[in-house]
Structure 1
Amino acid sequence: MGYHLETYLFNPPFVSLPTQLIKNPTLQEGIHLAHTVVKAGMAVAMSIANSKNKKITEDDEEFSVLIPWIPYLFINPSDLICAEYLQYFQHRERMVAAGAGEIGLFAARNSVRSMIMSASGKDSAPSHLIPSAYLTINLNHSPDIVAAHDLSQWWLPDLKLDYKLYQFR
């Protein structure tokens, strides 16, 4: 409806393989690049094969409606549940910087899960696709995965934070 509420999300889930567990940055980026290319290829193939099925167009319209909305996401890179948001936005930024921005931006508008569900005849909205976000990243060391996802970490007086706006263009 065009109304974008100011939104603060603490440790929001991002359904994906936790690539932050891979310690080799080159391998990590290679996985993200391959995933982006495969996802963009799947979206193109589905839109060609299913010209009667408007699923890709509908997902694109839903994504476009969200472009002006910029939620505040609070994440901890040690939290396996939400850390992929950081990878998602950083990878998209690197794709643009490398001159492959159109592929990255096209892939960002689509969800592999949504495309697979659509191909199997089931309706599924790409729930984790957020075009833009203000990311607040907790840089404090977390002793374990549970502490990294705990809401009380955001109330500590000695927080070390990084903050960045990732805006879809």
Structure 2
Amino acid sequence: MPATNPLDEKVKHGLRFAGSVITAGPALAPKGNSLRSRSEDPFAILSAWTPCLLVNPADHLCSEYVGYFEHRKKMEEIGAGAIERLANQHSLGLFMSVVGRGAEAAEPLHLFPSANLTVNLTPSQDFKQAHGIHQWWRPELHLKCNLYKYK
């Protein structure tokens, strides 16, 4: 598995930060009853559930979970946790409906409020190995586990 470039990681974090601010912005605008109550918000409803996610950084289909939860952690560390929590509660569909495009955008079903994230750091030969379930049966696994709880 190739080493990640620190500059690439900074760019990704910057893009995620900008996306969080853009997504959270419309939620702050006074719009009467247009925002869902907490009891109707799918993100809030899911917040008590903590699924176990098993991912491999070389698996491009699932590896973004690592970036997603790391980004949330970084936002907390720099004091922007409230922005990130607000952005996570409100989908990009809300932003698009405010600017008048795609009012019925789909919910971001790939986002979890909480997760027990297990990352397989054992090198993989290719995508098939990185995505396959058989990788989790190997005896020489190098794993990193983190619990991310939504506040």
Identity within the alignment, %? 35
Q: C-alpha displacement at 1:110, in angstroms?
A: 2.3
**Counterpart Cα distance in 2 of 1:122 and 1:88:** 24
Contact 2:41 2:89 (8 Å CA) reproduced = no
- 1:154 to 1:114, Cα distance in 2 relative to 1, 3 A: farther
Contact 1:76 1:139 (8 Å CA) reproduced = yes
Q: Which moved more, 1:92-101 or 1:60-69?
A: 60-69
Q: Which one of the candidate residues 36, 44, 54 is aligned to 1:74?
A: 54
- 1:1-169 matches, within 5 Å, as 24=7, 25-45=9-29, 48=30, 51-54=32-35, 56-57=36-37, 61-113=41-93, 115-116=95-96, 119-122=101-104, 124-169=106-151
- 1:102 to 1:44, Cα distance in 2 relative to 1, 3 A: same
Which amino acid in the other structure matches residue 90 of structure 1? Answer: E
**Counterpart Cα distance in 2 of 1:116 and 1:22:** 32
The TM-score, its normalising length taken from structure 2, stands at 0.81
Contact 2:53 2:117 (8 Å CA) reproduced = yes
**Counterpart Cα distance in 2 of 1:59 and 1:127:** 17
Kindly report structure 1 stretches of 4+ aligned residues shifted beyond 6 Å: none
Contact 2:38 2:44 (8 Å CA) reproduced = no
Q: C-alpha displacement at 1:120, in angstroms?
A: 2.4
- 1:148 to 1:95, Cα distance in 2 relative to 1, 3 A: same
CA distances 1:61-82 after superposition (whole Å, capped 9, x unpaired): 2211211111100001111111
Count of residue pairs the alignment pairs up:
146
- 1:93 to 1:99, Cα distance in 2 relative to 1, 3 A: same
Which amino acid in the other structure matches residue 53 of structure 1? Answer: S
Q: C-alpha displacement at 1:143, in angstroms?
A: 1.7
Gap runs ≥5 in structure 2:
none
SS of aligned partner of 2:125: coil
- 1:32 to 1:60, Cα distance in 2 relative to 1, 3 A: farther
Q: C-alpha displacement at 1:142, in angstroms?
A: 1.3
**Counterpart Cα distance in 1 of 2:40 and 2:64:** 21
Contact 1:111 1:129 (8 Å CA) reproduced = no
Contact 1:142 1:148 (8 Å CA) reproduced = yes
